[in-house]
Structure 1
Amino acid sequence: MALFNVRVYGLLVNDRREILLSDEQEYGMQFTKFPGGGLEHGEGLIDGLKREFMEECNASIEVISHFYTTDFFLKSAFNNSQIISIYYWVKNISPLNLTFKIKQFDFDGSGEVLQAFRWKKLAELQADDLTFPIDQHVAKLLANK
């Protein structure tokens, strides 16, 4: 049986034209991606994205518009499922009370699951700033906008 893994991500740009990136450590690896994650059973895309931002950033967001949905086959880096990722432009409607880092993978504390956030100038965003092929593809699309 084929499995699909539906993911939803938010593209959040601040007043300085910087985009929010999430550095994470999980499953024995470190990776950089856009904030967001997997849709839970019975959850809509927008509700899932709002939940993910609340869980990861402790912030409420408003979805502005759709940006991109995966339009090619992509196998998960973690299992045999097919990844379908949806990206939305979002804005925060509550303050981001996070400690923003300057360096990649600058985690506070220790453990198997870690996360840190940082801003990257949108004009300087490169595909190789992100770990996964779908995020790299989105970075290229952003560069062409």
Structure 2
Amino acid sequence: MFLFNVRVYGLLINEQDEILLSDEEHQSVRFSKFPGGGLEYGEGLLEALKREFMEECDTPVEVLEHIYTTDFFEKSSFNESQILSIYYLVKPLEPLKCRISPGAFDFDNSCQVKQSFRWVRLEDLSPNDVTFLTDKIAIEKLQQFWHKREV
């Protein structure tokens, strides 16, 4: 049996041209990625992305534009499934309600979920800022998209 794990992520850029990153720890593994997560059975991609932002950031978002979909095989770091990741540019419909940390992996020890959020300036954003290959490629696609917008 082949298992597929469909993931959907939001690329949220603020008015200061900073992008929101999520630092997390799961099964004793630390990683940095974009906000978002797994598609649940019965959901569409946009519905799942909006749900994930409400769950993680307590903030509703508008989905603006598709940026990238995984176009190669990637095995999950946590199980035997194949990962399919879809990235969208999003904007918040309200101010972000999640705590923004000054640095990576600045977890609130009073919470069971080990997750923190931080801003990275778009001009400083590098594939080294994220852990997973799909996110690294999404950064390259976002930078190409952003450059075309500015020209």
Identify the TM-score tier after normalising by the shorter chain. Answer: over 0.9
Q: Distance in 2 between matches of 1:70 and 1:129?
A: 18
* AA aligned opposite 2:20: L
Cα offsets for 1:67-104 (capped at 9, x unmatched)? 11001111111111110000000000011022211111
How far did residue 123 of structure 1 move? 1.1
What residue in structure 2 maps to residue 18 of structure 1?
A: 18
In terms of mean alpha carbon deviation, does 48-57 or 106-115 score higher? 106-115
Structure 1: segments with no counterpart, 5+ residues: none
Q: Distance in 1 between matches of 2:89 and 2:144?
A: 16
- In the alignment, does 2:72 pair up with 1:94? no
Q: Distance in 2 between matches of 1:77 and 1:32?
A: 13
What residue in structure 2 maps to residue 136 of structure 1?
A: 136
How far did residue 143 of structure 1 move? 3.1
* AA aligned opposite 1:122: L
Cα offsets for 1:4-38 (capped at 9, x unmatched)? 10000000000000000001111111110000000
4+ residue segments displaced more than 4 Å: none
> What value does the CA root-mean-square deviation take over the aligned residues?
1.2
How far did residue 112 of structure 1 move? 6.0
Conserved? CA contact 1:23–1:104, under 8 Å: yes
Matched ranges for 1:1-145 at <5 A:
1-109=1-109, 113-145=113-145
TM-score (norm 1): 0.95
What residue in structure 1 maps to residue 148 of structure 2?
A: none
* AA aligned opposite 2:64: I
How far did residue 40 of structure 1 move? 0.2
Conserved? CA contact 2:67–2:87, under 8 Å: yes
In terms of mean alpha carbon deviation, does 106-115 or 121-130 score higher? 106-115
Conserved? CA contact 1:8–1:48, under 8 Å: yes
* AA aligned opposite 1:84: L
Per the alignment, do residues 117 and 101 of structure 1 end up closer, same or farther by CA in structure 2, a change over 3 Å counting? same
* AA aligned opposite 1:126: S
Structure 2: segments with no counterpart, 5+ residues: 146-151
Conserved? CA contact 2:67–2:142, under 8 Å: no
Q: Distance in 2 between matches of 1:38 and 1:144?
A: 26
How far did residue 140 of structure 1 move? 2.2
Identity %: 57
* AA aligned opposite 1:36: G
Question: Secondary structure at 1:101's aligned position in 2?
Answer: coil
Per the alignment, do residues 60 and 12 of structure 1 end up closer, same or farther by CA in structure 2, a change over 3 Å counting? same
